[in-house]
């Protein structure tokens, strides 16, 4: 371990953006665990197209931070091999829109290696990808298809929504002995700065984070939409008492936390950018339909992306969900109370 590494900012406090928090967590993991390696396109000298891996190859060398040929199938498949062989690979897919070539390996192997061998082999890998829209990007650079992976048994899907959670959840994903798909809301990469202490402390997976307490409506979201949800929760505070929950680990979902909140508030609004049909929102709403109907004071509401291809950026805003849309959905849910 290079303890003398200039990048080491251990236990110091930093004012960082979400993408800088990702960089800190990666640096911390590489420093503290020799078995951690990274692979992906442009993650070396270029530091990733969003600079998430900035400086890491310089600090840890090519054998720890590997630029790959342009081949996502192999990035995922080789990471699986590395994980089986005792490393903890962190593979980067440059944008979620290019993650589809990894599906066969993630579904057939990453998700099954432990089960297939009854624990003889395992696959402690992280597949990172920036996801979501709203950054005026070209075609295929705005995908939110977390639900495709959430449907797959054996995978975990984790999505941070702040620098602190990016840091703590990424460390947790790297330490987790099973495969984790870690999706970073690129719209938030540079949105705000937060104080963060690089203490190497991981946050818990499989747990929701309650960001605002309230008793009239449970507002459920994850990823970039959390920022709009926070604004709306505060702006409407006088009008309605909102409990805002960041699901964070969208597979497996921490239903206990969601259920106790909905039992309390009796109302539930789920907000996500991804297409509606079979999204994570469907699973949460279905859970309510199965287990919480007697507690419901209003219909469950989903405010989601449409079941259409996200428009190119000129009309992208017509697809995206705004604070206004969320506030409107909150009010509608209250108005529709039984």
Partner 1 sequence: MMRHDLVGPLQYLSAEGEVLGQGKLAKELPECAADEALLVSAYRWMSLTRAFDQKAVALQRTGIIGTYPSSLGQEAISVACGMALADHDCFVPYYRDHGSFLVRGQLMEHLLLYWGGDERGSAYGPRDRSQLDMPVCVPIATQASHAVGIASAFKIQQKKQAVLCTLGDGASSKGDFLEALNLAGSWHLPVVFVINNNQWAISVPRHIQSGAPSLAQKANAAAIPNMQVDGNDFIALYEVLAEALQRARKGKGPMVVEAISYRLGDHTTADDASRYRDQEEVDNAWKNEPIKRLQKFIHQQGFWDKKAEGYMQDELQTQLAQAVQAYQQIAAEQPEAMFDHLYETWPASMDDQVVACGERYLRNRDGGVL
Ligand X SMILES: Cc1ncc(C[n+]2csc(CCOP(=O)(O)OP(=O)(O)O)c2C)c(N)n1
Hunting for tokens 């979201």 — which residue is that?
Answer: 221
* Footprint (CB under 6 A) of ligand X, residues 3-42: 41
Contact 77, 107 (CB under 8 A): no
Contact of residue 1 among ligand X, its own copies, partner 1, none (CB under 5-8 Å per partner type):
none
Cβ-proximal residue to ligand X, closest one: 98
Taking contact as CB under 8 A, which single stretch among the options 21-29, 67-75, 162-170, 214-222 is the one that binds partner 1? 67-75
Q: Which three-class secondary structure state does DSSP give residue 134?
A: coil
Contact 174, 36 (CB under 8 A): yes
Q: Which residues pair with 91 in a beta bridge?
A: 39, 127
Q: Minimum Å distance from CB 191 to its own copies? A: 27
Contact of residue 338 among ligand X, its own copies, partner 1, none (CB under 5-8 Å per partner type):
its own copies
Phi-psi group of 13: left, alpha or beta (phi > 0 → left; psi -120 to 50 → alpha; rest → beta): beta
183 binding its own copies? (CB under 8 A): no
State yes or no: is 318 an active-site residue.
no
| Rounded-to-integer distance, Cα 160 and Cα 255, Å | 18
| Rounded-to-integer distance, Cα 268 and Cα 297, Å | 9
Of the candidates 109, 136, 140, 141, the residue annotated as catalytic is 141
Residue 316 backbone dihedrals phi, psi, to 5 degrees: -60, -35
The only residue of 80, 166, 230, 274 in contact with partner 1, by rule CB under 8 A:
80
| Rounded-to-integer distance, Cα 289 and Cα 300, Å | 8
The only residue of 16, 26, 54, 72 in contact with ligand X, by rule CB under 6 A:
72
Q: Do β-strands 65-67 and 249-251 pair in parallel, antiparallel, or remain unpaired? A: unpaired
> Which run of H or of E encompasses 327?
helix 323-335
* Footprint (CB under 8 A) of its own copies, residues 113-142: 115-116, 139-140
Contact of residue 238 among ligand X, its own copies, partner 1, none (CB under 5-8 Å per partner type):
none
Write out the residues near its own copies by the rule CB under 8 A.
73, 97, 100-101, 103-104, 107-108, 111-112, 115-116, 139-140, 145, 147-148, 150-154, 251-253, 274-275, 277-286, 288-291, 293-294, 296, 299-302, 306-309, 338
Write out the residues near ligand X by the rule CB under 6 A.
41, 70, 72, 94, 98
Active site residues: 141
């Amino acid at each position: 371990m290079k303890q003398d590494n200039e990048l080491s900012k251990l236990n110091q406090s930093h004012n960082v953006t979400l993408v800088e928090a990702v960089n800190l967590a990666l640096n911390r993991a590489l420093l503290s665990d020799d078995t951690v390696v990274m692979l992906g396109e442009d993650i070396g000298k270029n530091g990733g197209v969003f600079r998430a891996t900035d400086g890491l190859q310089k600090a840890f060398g090519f054998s720890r931070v590997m630029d790959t040929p342009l081949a996502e199938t192999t990035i995922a498949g080789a990471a699986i091999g590395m994980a089986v062989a005792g490393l903890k690979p962190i593979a980067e897919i440059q944008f979620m829109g290019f993650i589809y070539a990894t599906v066969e390996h993630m579904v057939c192997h990453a998700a099954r290696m432990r089960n297939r061998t009854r624990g003889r082999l395992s696959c402690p890998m992280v597949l990172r990808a920036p996801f979501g829209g709203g950054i005026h990007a070209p075609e295929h650079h705005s995908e939110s298809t977390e639900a495709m992976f959430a449907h797959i048994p054996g995978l975990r899907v984790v999505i941070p929504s702040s620098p602190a959670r990016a840091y703590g959840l990424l460390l947790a994903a790297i330490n987790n002995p099973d495969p984790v798909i870690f999706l970073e809301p690129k719209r938030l990469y540079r949105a705000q700065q937060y104080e963060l202490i690089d203490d190497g402390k991981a946050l818990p997976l499989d747990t929701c984070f309650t960001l605002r307490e309230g008793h009239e409506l449970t507002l459920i979201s994850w990823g970039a939409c959390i920022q709009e949800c926070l604004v709306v929760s505060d702006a409407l505070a006088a009008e309605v008492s909102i409990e805002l929950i960041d699901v964070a680990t969208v597979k497996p979902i921490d239903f206990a936390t969601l259920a106790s909140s909905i039992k309390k508030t009796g109302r539930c609004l789920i907000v996500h950018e991804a297409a509606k049909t079979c999204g994570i929102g469907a699973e949460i709403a279905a859970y309510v339909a199965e287990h919480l109907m007697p507690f419901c004071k209003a219909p469950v509401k989903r405010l989601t992306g449409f079941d259409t291809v996200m428009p190119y950026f000129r009309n992208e805003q017509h697809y995206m969900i705004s604070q206004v849309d969320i506030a409107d959905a909150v009010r509608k849910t209250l108005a529709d109370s039984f």
